[in-house]
Structure formats: structure tokens, C-alpha cells
Amino acid sequence: MALMITDECINCDVCEPECPNQAIYLGPEIYQIDPAKCTECVGHFDAPQCVQVCPVSCIPVDPGHAESQATLWQKYQRLQKQVQTQRLSASQASSLAAASDSGA
Ligand code: SF4
Ligand code: SF4
């Protein structure tokens, strides 16, 4: 399952930088978790990092996004491919910009 942040969140900002998938973001009022990116930290850590650091324990599993360990692992692999593609695109754009600069 993906996790979710309840309205007990005090916006302490601690969890957001701990997420290896950049799944946590500041919503209109409190922090939120993008279920498409949350793998319960599967693939990165043995336990959900946001849960470990949250001082008010307001990050339960999201019953609306029930997922098996196998599904979470597949999500992790899909996200890794996206990251690699984005890095490759950024690298290619950088190379093209450098070539353009040297040709000017
Ligand atoms: S469980 Fe892990 S992947 Fe999911 S939001 Fe928390 S830190 Fe991010
Ligand atoms: S660590 Fe907990 S209280 Fe702090 S911003 Fe994250 S969800 Fe909210």
C-alpha cells in the first residue's frame, strides 16, 4: 500500500527530504503523498522513512491504495526507469548545449 498523511500533520517539513521517491509534497494545507510514487520505501529501505521521522505519527497506510509487495517492487522499478530516462535526457540536453556553445 501507499502511505497517506492525515490532518494531524503539523507541517514540520521533516519527512519530505527523507523520501527516496520524491513522493511527498506540500499540499494546500498539509504535506501529502503521491500514491503513484510511494513504494513504502520498497527498493530503497527496509522500513518507510517518513514514518520513522514523523514526530506525530500521522502517516498510516492508505486503505484506498492496497498494493502487494510485488506490486510495490514493480512500482519501484518503473520509477527507477523514469529517473534514468530523465537523467539521460538532461545529460543529452547538456551535451547539446555545450556543443552549441562551442560551435558559436
Ligand atoms: S513510505 Fe517511503 S516512498 Fe512512501 S512516502 Fe514515505 S518515504 Fe516516500
Ligand atoms: S513528518 Fe509528519 S508532521 Fe512533519 S510534515 Fe511530515 S507528515 Fe507532517
Tell me, yes or no, whether 103 lies in a domain: no
User: Confidence band (pLDDT; 50, 70, 90) for 103?
Assistant: low
Q: Higher confidence at residue 92 or residue 76?
A: 76
Pocket of ligand 2 contains residue 19 by CB under 6 Å:
no
Long-range CB contact pairs, 7-12, < 8 A, 24+: 7/58, 8/56, 8/58, 9/56, 9/58, 10/55, 10/56, 12/55, 12/56
**CA–centroid distance, residue 43 to ligand 1 (Å):** 11
The structure's pTM equals 0.88
Query: Does residue 101 belong to any structural domain of this protein?
Result: no
pLDDT tens profile 5-55:
999 999 999 999 999 999 999 999 999 999 999 999 999 999 999 999 999
**Residue-level pLDDT at 101:** 81
Asked whether residue 74 is domain-assigned, the answer is: yes
pLDDT digits (tens, 9 = 90+) for 69-80: 999 999 999 999
Decide whether any atom of ligand 2 lies within 6 Å of the 3 Cβ: no
Average pLDDT of the chain is 94
Domain interval for residue 41: 16-93
Number of domains in the chain: 1
Give the CATH number, domain containing residue 55. Answer: 3.30.70.20
Is position 47 within any domain? yes
Residue nearest to atom 8 of ligand 1 (CA): 19
